[in-house]
Amino acid sequence: MRNYYPLQPPIFEKSLGNPNYQYQEYLPSKLLSDYVVCYWSVHYHPLDTYPLHRIVPDGCIDIIFDLQSTSLAKGSFAVGLMTTFETMKLRQKQNLLGIRFYADTARRFIMYPPAELMDTQVLLEDIWGQEASLLQEDLLLSKNLPEKINKIEMKLVKLLSKNTHRTDLLLETSMQYLFTNLGIFPIRTLAEKTHFSERTIRRVFKKELGVSPKAFSNIIRFQSSLKELHDNPSSLSNIAANYGYYDQSHYIHQFKRHYGQSPKQILLK
Protein backbone atom coordinates (compact mmCIF):
# COMPACT_ATOMS: atom_id res chain seq x y z
CA MET A 1 0.00 0.00 0.00
CA ARG A 2 1.28 3.46 -0.87
CA ASN A 3 1.74 6.36 1.52
CA TYR A 4 -0.32 8.76 -0.59
CA TYR A 5 -4.03 9.16 0.08
CA PRO A 6 -5.63 12.22 -1.56
CA LEU A 7 -8.73 13.93 -0.17
CA GLN A 8 -11.81 15.40 -1.81
CA PRO A 9 -13.80 18.43 -0.51
CA PRO A 10 -16.86 16.56 0.86
CA ILE A 11 -14.57 15.49 3.71
CA PHE A 12 -14.63 19.12 4.88
CA GLU A 13 -18.24 19.92 4.07
CA LYS A 14 -20.95 20.30 6.68
CA SER A 15 -23.28 18.64 4.22
CA LEU A 16 -21.66 15.33 5.12
CA GLY A 17 -23.93 15.42 8.17
CA ASN A 18 -26.97 15.88 5.94
CA PRO A 19 -28.64 12.50 5.24
CA ASN A 20 -29.75 13.84 1.86
CA TYR A 21 -26.15 14.35 0.68
CA GLN A 22 -23.66 11.65 1.55
CA TYR A 23 -20.13 11.03 0.35
CA GLN A 24 -18.22 7.93 1.49
CA GLU A 25 -14.88 6.28 0.73
CA TYR A 26 -13.96 2.60 1.00
CA LEU A 27 -10.52 1.00 0.93
CA PRO A 28 -9.68 -1.65 -1.69
CA SER A 29 -8.57 -5.19 -0.94
CA LYS A 30 -4.87 -5.74 -0.28
CA LEU A 31 -4.45 -7.28 -3.74
CA LEU A 32 -5.52 -4.01 -5.39
CA SER A 33 -4.04 -1.50 -2.94
CA ASP A 34 -1.10 -0.67 -5.24
CA TYR A 35 -3.54 0.31 -7.97
CA VAL A 36 -6.71 1.61 -6.32
CA VAL A 37 -6.70 4.51 -3.85
CA CYS A 38 -10.30 3.89 -2.83
CA TYR A 39 -13.85 3.32 -3.97
CA TRP A 40 -16.25 6.19 -3.33
CA SER A 41 -19.96 6.87 -3.45
CA VAL A 42 -22.18 9.94 -3.67
CA HIS A 43 -25.88 9.79 -2.77
CA TYR A 44 -28.10 12.85 -3.00
CA HIS A 45 -31.84 13.36 -2.76
CA PRO A 46 -33.04 16.77 -3.99
CA LEU A 47 -34.17 19.41 -1.53
CA ASP A 48 -35.33 23.00 -1.87
CA THR A 49 -31.68 24.07 -1.77
CA TYR A 50 -28.98 22.63 -4.02
CA PRO A 51 -25.61 21.77 -2.45
CA LEU A 52 -22.41 22.61 -4.30
CA HIS A 53 -20.38 19.50 -5.02
CA ARG A 54 -16.71 20.41 -5.40
CA ILE A 55 -13.99 18.25 -6.99
CA VAL A 56 -10.29 19.10 -6.75
CA PRO A 57 -7.14 17.74 -8.45
CA ASP A 58 -5.85 14.62 -6.72
CA GLY A 59 -3.42 13.12 -9.24
CA CYS A 60 -5.77 10.20 -9.90
CA ILE A 61 -7.85 8.62 -12.67
CA ASP A 62 -11.47 7.66 -11.95
CA ILE A 63 -14.01 5.26 -13.37
CA ILE A 64 -17.53 6.35 -12.42
CA PHE A 65 -20.78 4.38 -12.51
CA ASP A 66 -23.95 6.48 -12.65
CA LEU A 67 -26.50 4.18 -11.04
CA GLN A 68 -29.30 6.60 -11.91
CA SER A 69 -28.60 6.42 -15.64
CA THR A 70 -31.35 5.01 -17.85
CA SER A 71 -28.74 3.72 -20.31
CA LEU A 72 -26.41 0.83 -19.51
CA ALA A 73 -24.08 1.86 -22.33
CA LYS A 74 -23.83 5.49 -21.19
CA GLY A 75 -23.98 4.92 -17.46
CA SER A 76 -20.26 4.51 -16.83
CA PHE A 77 -17.23 6.51 -17.89
CA ALA A 78 -13.55 7.11 -17.20
CA VAL A 79 -12.31 10.54 -16.09
CA GLY A 80 -8.75 11.76 -16.65
CA LEU A 81 -6.39 13.80 -14.51
CA MET A 82 -7.69 17.16 -13.36
CA THR A 83 -5.43 20.18 -13.10
CA THR A 84 -7.95 22.59 -11.59
CA PHE A 85 -11.05 22.41 -9.39
CA GLU A 86 -14.61 21.99 -10.63
CA THR A 87 -17.97 22.68 -8.97
CA MET A 88 -21.47 21.50 -9.77
CA LYS A 89 -24.88 22.25 -8.29
CA LEU A 90 -26.66 19.05 -7.37
CA ARG A 91 -30.16 19.62 -8.77
CA GLN A 92 -31.17 16.01 -9.44
CA LYS A 93 -31.01 12.74 -7.56
CA GLN A 94 -27.47 11.33 -7.60
CA ASN A 95 -26.32 7.76 -7.05
CA LEU A 96 -22.69 7.46 -8.11
CA LEU A 97 -20.09 4.79 -7.41
CA GLY A 98 -16.48 5.44 -8.36
CA ILE A 99 -13.06 3.80 -8.52
CA ARG A 100 -10.11 6.11 -7.84
CA PHE A 101 -6.88 4.80 -9.42
CA TYR A 102 -3.29 5.90 -8.96
CA ALA A 103 -2.38 7.62 -12.22
CA ASP A 104 0.78 5.64 -12.95
CA THR A 105 -0.92 2.23 -12.73
CA ALA A 106 -4.36 3.14 -14.12
CA ARG A 107 -3.34 1.96 -17.58
CA ARG A 108 -3.62 -1.65 -16.38
CA PHE A 109 -7.38 -1.06 -16.24
CA ILE A 110 -8.19 1.70 -18.73
CA MET A 111 -5.91 0.29 -21.47
CA TYR A 112 -4.72 3.74 -22.56
CA PRO A 113 -2.07 6.14 -21.25
CA PRO A 114 -3.84 8.50 -18.81
CA ALA A 115 -2.59 11.35 -21.02
CA GLU A 116 -5.33 10.44 -23.52
CA LEU A 117 -7.98 11.14 -20.87
CA MET A 118 -6.47 14.44 -19.77
CA ASP A 119 -9.19 16.87 -18.53
CA THR A 120 -11.93 14.84 -20.22
CA GLN A 121 -14.10 11.75 -19.85
CA VAL A 122 -14.67 8.73 -22.07
CA LEU A 123 -17.53 6.23 -22.01
CA LEU A 124 -16.37 3.03 -20.36
CA GLU A 125 -18.01 1.11 -23.21
CA ASP A 126 -15.40 2.63 -25.55
CA ILE A 127 -12.70 1.08 -23.34
CA TRP A 128 -14.18 -2.21 -22.11
CA GLY A 129 -16.75 -2.81 -24.83
CA GLN A 130 -19.87 -4.76 -23.80
CA GLU A 131 -18.20 -5.69 -20.51
CA ALA A 132 -18.92 -2.15 -19.29
CA SER A 133 -22.69 -2.57 -19.75
CA LEU A 134 -22.61 -6.03 -18.17
CA LEU A 135 -20.87 -4.69 -15.07
CA GLN A 136 -23.24 -1.72 -14.92
CA GLU A 137 -26.17 -4.14 -14.99
CA ASP A 138 -24.58 -6.31 -12.28
CA LEU A 139 -24.17 -3.26 -10.05
CA LEU A 140 -27.82 -2.26 -10.52
CA LEU A 141 -28.92 -5.78 -9.55
CA SER A 142 -26.68 -5.91 -6.45
CA LYS A 143 -28.44 -5.83 -3.10
CA ASN A 144 -26.07 -3.51 -1.27
CA LEU A 145 -22.87 -1.51 -1.54
CA PRO A 146 -20.46 -4.24 -0.30
CA GLU A 147 -21.83 -6.53 -3.00
CA LYS A 148 -21.33 -3.82 -5.63
CA ILE A 149 -17.73 -3.24 -4.55
CA ASN A 150 -17.07 -6.98 -4.52
CA LYS A 151 -18.25 -7.25 -8.14
CA ILE A 152 -16.05 -4.31 -9.13
CA GLU A 153 -13.05 -5.91 -7.45
CA MET A 154 -13.66 -9.20 -9.25
CA LYS A 155 -13.64 -7.31 -12.55
CA LEU A 156 -10.45 -5.40 -11.67
CA VAL A 157 -8.60 -8.55 -10.60
CA LYS A 158 -9.61 -10.18 -13.88
CA LEU A 159 -8.29 -7.21 -15.85
CA LEU A 160 -5.10 -7.21 -13.81
CA SER A 161 -4.40 -10.83 -14.69
CA LYS A 162 -5.10 -10.29 -18.40
CA ASN A 163 -3.31 -6.99 -18.95
CA THR A 164 0.40 -7.36 -18.28
CA HIS A 165 1.34 -3.82 -19.38
CA ARG A 166 4.06 -2.47 -17.10
CA THR A 167 4.32 1.13 -16.00
CA ASP A 168 7.25 2.96 -17.58
CA LEU A 169 10.08 2.32 -15.10
CA LEU A 170 11.24 5.93 -15.08
CA LEU A 171 7.70 7.14 -14.40
CA GLU A 172 7.21 4.55 -11.66
CA THR A 173 10.48 5.48 -9.94
CA SER A 174 9.80 9.20 -10.27
CA MET A 175 6.32 8.80 -8.79
CA GLN A 176 7.74 6.92 -5.82
CA TYR A 177 10.09 9.82 -5.08
CA LEU A 178 7.26 12.36 -5.45
CA PHE A 179 4.89 10.43 -3.18
CA THR A 180 7.54 9.73 -0.55
CA ASN A 181 8.57 13.38 -0.45
CA LEU A 182 4.98 14.72 -0.45
CA GLY A 183 5.52 16.46 -3.79
CA ILE A 184 8.40 18.56 -2.42
CA PHE A 185 10.93 17.32 -4.95
CA PRO A 186 12.38 19.57 -7.68
CA ILE A 187 12.85 18.02 -11.11
CA ARG A 188 16.55 18.78 -10.82
CA THR A 189 16.75 16.45 -7.80
CA LEU A 190 14.56 13.91 -9.59
CA ALA A 191 17.03 13.87 -12.47
CA GLU A 192 19.94 13.33 -10.07
CA LYS A 193 18.18 10.44 -8.30
CA THR A 194 16.99 8.65 -11.44
CA HIS A 195 20.11 9.37 -13.54
CA PHE A 196 17.98 10.67 -16.41
CA SER A 197 17.97 14.15 -17.87
CA GLU A 198 15.27 16.66 -16.90
CA ARG A 199 14.20 16.72 -20.54
CA THR A 200 13.67 12.94 -20.59
CA ILE A 201 11.65 13.05 -17.36
CA ARG A 202 9.44 15.83 -18.73
CA ARG A 203 8.88 13.87 -21.93
CA VAL A 204 7.85 10.69 -20.07
CA PHE A 205 5.43 12.54 -17.78
CA LYS A 206 3.85 14.38 -20.69
CA LYS A 207 3.56 11.22 -22.78
CA GLU A 208 2.15 9.00 -20.02
CA LEU A 209 0.20 11.40 -17.78
CA GLY A 210 -0.35 14.47 -19.95
CA VAL A 211 1.20 16.85 -17.39
CA SER A 212 4.70 18.01 -16.50
CA PRO A 213 6.46 16.56 -13.44
CA LYS A 214 6.26 20.02 -11.84
CA ALA A 215 2.47 20.20 -12.33
CA PHE A 216 2.03 16.70 -10.95
CA SER A 217 4.28 17.32 -7.95
CA ASN A 218 2.32 20.52 -7.22
CA ILE A 219 -0.87 18.45 -7.05
CA ILE A 220 0.74 15.99 -4.64
CA ARG A 221 2.09 18.84 -2.52
CA PHE A 222 -1.32 20.53 -2.44
CA GLN A 223 -3.01 17.24 -1.49
CA SER A 224 -0.41 16.55 1.22
CA SER A 225 -0.99 19.98 2.75
CA LEU A 226 -4.77 19.43 2.46
CA LYS A 227 -4.47 16.22 4.46
CA GLU A 228 -2.48 17.98 7.18
CA LEU A 229 -5.06 20.75 7.23
CA HIS A 230 -7.71 18.09 7.78
CA ASP A 231 -5.88 15.78 10.20
CA ASN A 232 -3.84 18.24 12.22
CA PRO A 233 -4.79 21.86 11.50
CA SER A 234 -2.12 24.29 12.60
CA SER A 235 -1.11 27.79 11.58
CA LEU A 236 -1.03 28.36 7.84
CA SER A 237 2.49 29.71 8.12
CA ASN A 238 3.62 26.38 9.62
CA ILE A 239 1.92 24.37 6.88
CA ALA A 240 3.41 26.65 4.24
CA ALA A 241 6.89 26.05 5.68
CA ASN A 242 6.34 22.29 6.02
CA TYR A 243 5.45 21.93 2.34
CA GLY A 244 8.05 24.15 0.78
CA TYR A 245 5.98 27.22 -0.09
CA TYR A 246 7.76 30.57 -0.04
CA ASP A 247 5.46 31.95 2.65
CA GLN A 248 1.87 31.88 3.86
CA SER A 249 0.69 34.17 1.06
CA HIS A 250 2.19 31.90 -1.60
CA TYR A 251 0.58 28.85 0.02
CA ILE A 252 -2.87 30.46 0.10
CA HIS A 253 -2.55 31.52 -3.54
CA GLN A 254 -1.61 27.99 -4.67
CA PHE A 255 -4.26 26.42 -2.46
CA LYS A 256 -7.02 28.59 -3.96
CA ARG A 257 -5.79 27.72 -7.44
CA HIS A 258 -6.41 24.03 -6.77
CA TYR A 259 -9.38 24.24 -4.40
CA GLY A 260 -11.22 27.40 -5.42
CA GLN A 261 -11.37 28.59 -1.83
CA SER A 262 -8.84 29.63 0.80
CA PRO A 263 -7.79 27.27 3.64
CA LYS A 264 -9.59 29.47 6.18
CA GLN A 265 -12.84 29.26 4.21
CA ILE A 266 -12.95 25.48 4.32
CA LEU A 267 -11.92 25.29 7.98
CA LEU A 268 -14.88 27.51 8.87
CA LYS A 269 -17.37 25.13 7.24
pLDDT the model gives residue 269: 64
Where is the domain boundary, 120, 143, 162?
162
| Domain around 249 | 169-267
Dihedral of CA atoms 257, 245, 119, 139 in degrees, nearest 10, equals -100
Q: Does 173 lie in the same domain as 148?
A: no
Where is the domain boundary, 143, 162, 181?
162
Are 73 and 123 a contacting pair, CB within 8 Å? yes
Q: Does 173 lie in the same domain as 158?
A: no
pLDDT the model gives residue 214: 96
Q: How far is CA 142 from CA 15, 87, 136, 139, in A?
A: 27, 30, 10, 5
CATH number where 183 lies: 1.10.10.60
Residue 4 placed within a domain: no
pLDDT the model gives residue 266: 85
Q: Does 28 lie in the same domain as 82?
A: yes
pLDDT the model gives residue 166: 77
Q: Give dist(CA 219, CA 254) in Å, integer.
A: 10
Q: Does 184 lie in the same domain as 51?
A: no
Residues 162-173: b if buried by 16+ CB within 10 A, e if exposed: eeeeebbebbeb
CB atoms within 10 A of CB 24: 14
Model pTM?
0.93
Q: Does 96 lie in the same domain as 115?
A: yes
Residue 99 placed within a domain: yes
Dihedral of CA atoms 43, 45, 48, 51 in degrees, nearest 10, equals 10
Q: How far is CA 57 from CA 105, 123, 215, in A?
A: 17, 21, 11
Contacts with 204 (C-beta within 8 Å, 6 or more apart), sequence order: 168, 170, 171, 174
Residue segments in the chain with a per-residue pLDDT below the cut of 50: none
User: How many structural domains comprise the chain?
Assistant: 2
Q: Does 110 lie in the same domain as 48?
A: yes
Long-range contacts of residues 244-249, Cβ cutoff 8 Å, at least 24 apart: 244/184
Q: Does 85 lie in the same domain as 180?
A: no
Where is the domain boundary, 145, 162, 179?
162
pLDDT the model gives residue 47: 73
Q: Does 241 lie in the same domain as 128?
A: no
Q: Does 124 lie in the same domain as 189?
A: no
Q: Does 60 lie in the same domain as 100?
A: yes
pLDDT the model gives residue 76: 96
